[in-house]
Chains A and B, each alone.
Chain A
Amino acid sequence: MKTIIKLTRYGIISAARSRWILGYTAFFFLASEGLMRFGGDTSKAVASLLNVVLLLIPLVSIVIGTMTVYNNRDFTELLLSQPLKRGSLFAGQYLGLALPLTAAYLLGVGVPLLARMGSTDSVTNAGLVLMLLASGTALTHIFTALALVVATRYDDRAFGLGAALLLWLMAAALYDGIMLAVIWTFRDYPLEMPVLAMSILNPIDLARTLVMLKFDVAALMGYTGAVFEKFFGTALGMSAAASALLFWVLAPFGLGMKIFAKKDF
């Protein structure tokens, strides 16, 4: 446990020293501040931020994650020569990455949005902002864990980075393409439940659906919206969504840990 805390602290300090995390925070801050200032409306700002969050967080998390692991390779090897548990090392590495990224996101987006949540804003808007923050946090954790898997599995930097980008592309775009193809192929059938299931399986789609359902957009979706709202409105649906996200953190984390434990450095 001590090892984990120490390594996490090391990760946070080294992240704070590097410029990318500042740039990352500043970007989110400027984007949300600008949208709030010029758009003026919380729900509109969230709508615009949603795309940024869904694209950028996975991309940055997975790229920064892989790069950091590769850059720290020597340090990791040094630590491995010490009498430390490999599991603790891995967990410390993970937290040292995921926590600064999450903090950067929460500060950058959360502060401008929550600071401007005046009395004029409804409870719905508060729910919207919280959902955006929560799903962004989940995505950060998921893609950091995936980054660790990739970087631990492949020693070749270029290959690892390529694999990371491919993973991101899969989740961000290709999966939706498959979904569209399925929807189009089976368009003569009632597809509400299959689409619901498919959108739960991909964390980016799930995050987008969760935030979108907090908008009025559910009305736009007619019957589909009603099905979705009914599902995610229930305790069962919410816990299904939460456990899907949790699964996407834990599964890669566990896998990465397993690879890390057996890896011959």
Chain B
Amino acid sequence: MSEHTTIPAPEVDENDVAGPSARPSAGPSARPVRDDRSLHERIWSRIFGRSERAAWMERPSPGLSVLKGLLIAVVTISIVVPMLVVVSTSFASSDQIRDAGGYVLFPTDPTLEAYRTIFKSPLVFRAIGVSAFITVVGTLLALFVTITMAYALSRPVLFGKPMLMAIIVTLFFSPGLIPMYLMVKQLHLLDTIWSLILPGLFAGFNFIVMRSFFMGIPKELLESAKIDGASDFTILLRIVLPLSKAVIAVIGLFYAVGFWNSFFNALLYINDQSLWPIQMILRSYVIQGSSMTADALGVSQAPPPQSIKMAVVVVALAPIVVVYPFLQKYFSKGVITGAIKG
């Protein structure tokens, strides 16, 4: 902490803020000249980074601080603890689960037994395969459809306005689930893996984010390429796409999360258990509680159902949590908020 306790210099006190001469809010680069903060504040700033409290902003009253801290703590705990319990229990040994009465906060002797069991099970293994397939193929196709449409409508183009209206309408209405079911049936997609992919290929919201990003690309760039003889296809492939990696990543992740999470379409269109995605397995074995017997799993011996249930939850949860930091990275870059502000 020596770097903070350098030369004391005369300076406006933090609490003396009434005057406009108050120090401007300390940016990350502004090196503190004097540090009269208490010890806990220093530790705090070591962990969470320097406070960016604007000079005119008074410290909150203790009551308000406590209230805020409490709210933040409750929200954080309510999100983190359930996931922690589920993950821990899935790794816990059967003895520990029995002693703890079903749930474990920290596994004392972690074991992969539950995971070995579910990955041996043809049902779960297939379901993971189905979910992975619809996620990868669905996302690629959806990106193709969304990018082409968004690029076409990001320029003043023939039929552009009616087309845009036709897409905006999809944000407000839904055809209803029975007509959708009949349509999928009419296309002979019932009980095929494509019924989980094709209806979700185009989402109006993703289109709008993509289009507003494309519209932000300087017109001069595209026009000069056009003068140089580039066709619209070339411009899209060689100029627009390389400039749009961030938005493509974010929209791709949105689609991927949607496909991985798809449950309702499977419920509606799929009867054949061997085509169930992981969410359907999760529903029937964890929520509906049909016990995952050794028989159903196709193995001779199964660890206690509790840790198997938790392992299924973790399998459904893990890809989202793994992908999430990448998604998160772009929130801070403002891809989404930029689009929201229009």
- Do these two chains interact? no
